[in-house]
Amino acid sequence: MIGLAKRNILVFFRNKSTMFFSMLSPFIVIGLYVLVLRNGLSGGFGEIVPYEFMDNWIMAGLLAITTITATMGAYGIMVEDKSKKIIKDFYSSPIDRRKLVGGYAISSFVIGMILTLITFALAELYIVAGGGGFLSFSEILKALAVVSISGFCNTAIMLFMVSMLSSENAFAVASTIIGTLIGFLTGIYMPIGNLPAAVRWAVKAFPPSHSASLLRQIMMEKPLEAAFKNIPAEELEKTKETLGVVFKVGGNTIPQYVSIALLLVVGAVFFALSVLTISRKSR
């Protein structure tokens, strides 16, 4: 299992075009934000709020989607193995199917984490360059913990999805669709509070959105306090809900531990489904 994971990681990082397309969605988000959204979003709350406020908001969402696009890009190796019939060699070997699935999952998780950490470092540099401040050491540790949990969940979800794909064309189409929709489902292109009610419910049910919410709570804590220090607490709560910093159901805020539990449970369920799906297909 570890040997297969190492092989997949080496293959991925040798292919520069695969690395580029895995990071394409985050680059698009950054480009749209810098060129189009930054001024409009910052001035969308009555008086213009500091850029640091919205910079942290967008970068938290960016980290959440990177854990998705990067892990899915890593699974391109699995699809390529299928299309070239290489995976049949693995099926004919005595390796346990769970270990085979684990090898692809581990490599995808590691690749996703590496690319997300690179994105995290670039995001922090961008925030500081725009006049903001670095996260504290404890905040960085919290953010990395959320990124790890998010990476686990998304690795499992993408594994299940990719296990049903057998051609590189199908994988390319799926990657394009996910890359297009993910920005809306995590509330990046538009604040969640501005979406129709039905879409808001879909966002709250989408596990990666909870990753974005958790990261925003960490990265936006100080900017929110600074921007709303002379504004009633009710306005602060309303803004946090509008921006997807917190999710509310029935007027009650979803606690952090519930979002974390959701990510872990969904990850475990999809990993089990992936093992079942691949085992059936390999017979």
Q: How far apart are CA 35 and CA 105, in angstroms?
A: 36
Q: How far apart are CA 9 and CA 73, in angstroms?
A: 12
pLDDT of residue 233: 78
User: Where does residue 137 rank: exposed (0-12), middle (13-18), buried (19+ CB within 10 A)?
Assistant: exposed
End-to-end CA distance of the chain: 20
Task: Provide the pLDDT confidence category of residue 152 given band limits of 50, 70 and 90.
Answer: very high
Task: Provide the pLDDT confidence category of residue 260 given band limits of 50, 70 and 90.
Answer: very high
pLDDT, tens digit (0-9, with 9 covering 90-100), for 106-145? 999 999 999 999 999 988 998 888 788 889 999 999 999 9
pLDDT of residue 153: 95
pLDDT, tens digit (0-9, with 9 covering 90-100), for 185-214? 887 777 888 888 888 888 898 998 999 999
Q: At what angle do helices 2-14 and 76-83 cross, to 10 degrees?
A: 100
Q: How far apart are CA 233 and CA 238, in angstroms?
A: 9
pTM: 0.87
pLDDT of residue 38: 63
Residue ranges per domain, the chain? 2-281
**Which position has the higher pLDDT, 236 or 282?**
236
pLDDT of residue 48: 47
Please compute the mean of the pLDDT values over residues 154-174 and round it to a whole number: 88
Q: Which helix (H) or strand (E) holds 179?
A: helix 168-185
pLDDT above 90 coverage of the chain, percent: 29
